[in-house]
């Protein structure tokens, strides 16, 4: 009888081990898309349950345009993302159609760790557990995966400083989409310019892929958590060389430099026409003022922590709207002079500020100063 019980227990233990050993879990890293929602890549976890013939992708980067007040929630910083599941072939097909590549890294886990992770993902995908408040830099599809291995025991990584900032990393990944980075630099405040750690750098999918290889699994004699990446599908071909040349030629820095030179030349050769000066400055100040209003709203009227403490207000100031609605007079010119002086002071002292300005900002500030000086010179003549 004892032998029978012992044999039964041995069979059950073997079956349980086989069930755990049938799990293969890997990290999927997807290449960038062209629109802003996919410009930084994507991360997901793939679970192959060989015993039950399941191949599931757990995707933390899901949101719905049908969510009530979607755009308002997005702008206010209250947008809910959620963990969704899909068949791997469906997931791959959608990325193939978008021209985005996928790489896969097998995670080196013990059968017990794999079973625990699979159970965690299944529980996290339940309707009551799947939603989370999205944060672009600290709570997204990549950081959610990183945090799993921080919360689970047995995984460790040396979390040293990288010498990089959040803004550095965004600039690196955005690449030749220079107008997109210009907009990002205008909206993000000084908090994105602090030095980040190895773990914090994993807010981007391609960095997560690297960081998980630096994690060690204590249960497997400190073996790397993630294996080297294997290509599942390749992205669409990179743009031709002329595309890069055109991107540089139409970059914000180039465009605003040309505007500065055109304004200077036309002012010097136009006979100091007041009407020309008035129209140009009104349009320019209206743009700066409206931009300043947006910066203030993103700072004070939303829950976004990364848009606070934005020193771009020194030159893109909502107070520029005041002279837009004023008649031409000495008071109007005085306000413009003061705002231009503040902008110039910000440029001169930019190395003392805790925030990095976009290179095009310097040209815009110079244009602001030039307009103020030219307006005053022409106003005196009239």
pLDDT of residue 13 exceeding 50: no
Instruction: Give every CB contact of residue 192 below 8 A, 6+ residues apart in sequence.
Output: 137, 165, 166, 167, 170, 306
pLDDT band at 275 (very low <50, low <70, confident <90, very high): confident
What are the residues whose beta carbons fall under 8 Å from the beta carbon of 17, sequence distance 6 or more?
A: 111
Task: Supply 89's token pair.
Answer: 């072939």
| Residue 10 clears pLDDT 50, i.e. is over it | no
Residues 205-250 have pLDDT tens digits of: 999 999 999 999 999 989 999 999 999 999 888 666 666 677 777 8
Contacts of 55 (CB under 8 A, 6+ apart): 46, 47, 48, 49, 87, 88, 89
Which of helix, strand or coil describes residue 90? helix
- What global pTM score does this model have? 0.88
Tell me: do 338 and 287 sit in the same domain.
yes
pLDDT tens for 105-162 read: 999 999 999 999 999 999 999 999 999 999 999 999 999 999 999 999 899 999 999 9
> How far apart (Å, rounded) are the C-alpha atoms in residues 134 and 82?
9
Residue 5 belongs to some domain of the structure: no
Q: What is the pLDDT of residues 241-266, one digit of tens each?
A: 666 677 777 899 999 999 999 988 88
Q: Are residues 51 and 200 in the same domain?
A: yes
Quote the pLDDT of residue 72: 84
180 with 259, same domain? no
169 and 275 together in one domain: no
pLDDT at position 374, please?
85
Same domain, yes or no, for 53 and 181? yes
Residue 14 — pLDDT band, cuts 50, 70, 90? very low
β-strands 161-165, 216-217 pairing: unpaired
Together in a domain, 277 and 209: no
Q: Are residues 376 and 304 in the same domain?
A: yes
Measured from the Cβ of residue 233, the count of other Cβ atoms closer than 10 Å reads: 16
Of the candidates 155, 158, 159, 145, the residue with the CA atom closest to the CA atom of residue 220: 155
Residue with more model confidence, 30 or 177: 30
The answer to whether residues 302 and 219 belong to one domain is: no
What is the pLDDT at residue 273?
A: 67
**Cα–Cα distance measured from residue 74 to residue 300, given in angstroms and rounded to the nearest whole number:** 15
Average pLDDT, integer, range 18-28: 80
Q: What per-residue confidence (pLDDT) applies to 269?
A: 78
Residues spanned by the domain of 281 = 251-381
Q: Is residue 243 part of a domain?
A: no
State how many domains the chain has.
2
The pLDDT, as a whole number, for residue 176 is 83
CATH classification at residue 33: 3.90.1720.10
- 260 and 340, same structural domain? yes
Rounded percentage of the chain residues whose pLDDT exceeds 90? 71
- Residue 78 shares a structural domain with residue 150: yes
Mean pLDDT of 262-288: 82
pLDDT at 272: 58
Q: Residue 19: its pLDDT value, please?
A: 46
Choose one of 207, 233, 259: the last residue of a domain.
233
Residues 32 and 146 grouped into a single domain: yes
What does the alpha-carbon distance between residue 140 and residue 11 come to, in Å, rounded to a whole number?
43
Dist CA 263 CA 131 (whole Å): 51
pLDDT at residue number 240: 65
């Amino acid at each position: 009888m004892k032998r029978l019980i012992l044999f039964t227990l041995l069979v059950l233990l073997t079956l349980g081990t086989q069930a755990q050993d049938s799990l293969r879990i890997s990290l999927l890293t997807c290449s960038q898309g062209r629109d802003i929602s996919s410009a930084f890549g994507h991360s997901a976890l793939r679970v192959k349950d060989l015993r039950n013939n399941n191949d599931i992708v757990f995707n933390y980067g899901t949101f719905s345009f049908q969510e009530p007040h979607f755009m308002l929630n997005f702008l206010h910083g209250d947008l809910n993302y959620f963990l969704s599941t899909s068949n791997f072939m469906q997931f791959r097909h959608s990325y193939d159609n978008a021209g985005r590549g996928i790489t896969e890294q097998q995670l080196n886990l013990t059968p017990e760790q794999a079973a625990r992770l699979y159970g965690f993902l299944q529980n996290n995908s339940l309707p009551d557990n799947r939603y989370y408040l999205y944060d672009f830099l600290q709570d997204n599809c990549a950081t959610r995966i990183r945090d799993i291995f921080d919360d689970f025991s047995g995984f460790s990584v040396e979390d040293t400083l990288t010498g990089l900032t959040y803004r550095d990393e965004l600039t690196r990944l955005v690449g030749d989409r220079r107008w997109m980075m210009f907009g990002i630099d205008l909206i993000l405040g000084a908090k994105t310019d602090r030095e980040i750690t190895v773990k914090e750098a994993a807010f981007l999918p391609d960095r997560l892929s690297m960081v998980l290889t630096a994690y060690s699994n204590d249960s497997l004699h400190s073996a790397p958590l993630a294996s080297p990446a294997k290509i599942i599908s390749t992205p669409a071909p990179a743009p031709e060389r002329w595309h890069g040349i055109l991107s540089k030629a139409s970059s914000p820095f180039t465009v605003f430099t040309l505007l500065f030179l055109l304004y200077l030349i036309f002012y010097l050769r136009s006979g100091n026409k007041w009407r020309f000066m008035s129209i140009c400055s009104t349009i320019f100040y209206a743009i700066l003022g409206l931009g300043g209003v947006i910066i203030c709203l993103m700072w004070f009227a939303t829950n976004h922590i990364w848009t606070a403490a934005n020193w771009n207000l020194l030159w893109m100031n909502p107070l520029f709207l005041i002279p837009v609605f004023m008649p031409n007079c000495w008071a109007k010119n005085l306000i413009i002079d003061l705002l231009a002086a503040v902008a110039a002071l910000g440029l001169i002292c930019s190395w003392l500020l805790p925030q990095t300005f976009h290179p095009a900002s310097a040209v815009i500030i110079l244009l602001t100063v030039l307009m103020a000086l030219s307006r005053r010179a022409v106003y005196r003549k009239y």
